[in-house]
Amino acid sequence: MANFVLVHGAWHGAWCWRRVTDQLTTLGHRVHAVTLTGVGERAHLLSPDIHLSTHIQDVVSTIETEELDEVVLAVHSYAGMVGTGVADLIGERLHHLVYVDAMLPKPGETWGATHTSTVREGRLAAAQASPTYSFPAPGPELFGLSGEDAQWVARRQTPHPGHPYTDVLHFSPERVAAIARTYIRCTKPTLATMDAIWPRVNDPLFWDGLWLPGSRAIEMATGHDPMVSAPQELTRILLNCAE
């Protein structure tokens, strides 16, 4: 039996992992899909007080409260920031860190640092105009979804807290690189805000040369929400990471 902790990206919640969670649970594994403060079923907690550190603590608290060790921690999209912070704090409790088409930050970087100025300015303007300091979700078509899948995601997406977009993440690459890592890139279609991240995955100088040793990269021919569009394939990858 393996321990899986699954963390969604922006505008989503634990609900987005349902198809993966069902498969892993059926196989006898212990699975915790975390909903970050202010989104999903915790949208009633949305406020200007939420920061990146809040979301990191959401995941740390889940692992500690559930007394989990040897965790396969899978983090999607924005949650690459969260997972990197978690690995820096409690890396000794992780078996494998899986970045699912996720942010892969440098120390001292923000989530929005690699985005275009148009994207950054739009999200910040929306947050500043919101009483909860949040910005709205895009249409699921951006993630390569259509039909019932797109409708399902559209019904459940919620605005995302704004401060995590500009909060700086400080971490030790040495501590994070001590954990086995897999990066999954989703290619059909690719998401424009992830374009600056993929070159880092294959850069021998990234994290001062610490990233590539102990890491691997996998491509999935699906869109940015593979837990929705390709759950069986994603589940197989996660099971492999548990070995």
Residue 168 has a CB neighbour count (10 Å cut-off) of 12
Backbone angles phi, psi at 87, to 5 degrees: -60, -35
Return all residues near 52 (Cβ < 8 A) that are at least 6 apart.
Answer: 81, 82, 85, 111, 163, 164, 167, 169
CA 172 – CA 159 distance, rounded (Å): 30
Query: CA-CA distance, 29 to 22, in Å (whole number)?
Result: 10
Give the Å distances, CA to CA, from 190 to 84, 142, 223: 22, 9, 6
Alpha-carbon distance of 11 to 197, in angstroms, equals: 20
For 131, the 3-state DSSP assignment is: coil
The residue behind tokens 């971490």 is 171
What contacts 125, CB < 8 A, 6 or more positions away? none
Q: Centre a 10 Å sphere on the Cβ of residue 175 and count the other Cβ atoms it contains.
A: 16
- Catalytic residue selected from 53, 77, 117, 134: 77
> Does residue 229 have an active-site annotation?
no
Give the catalytic positions in this structure: 77
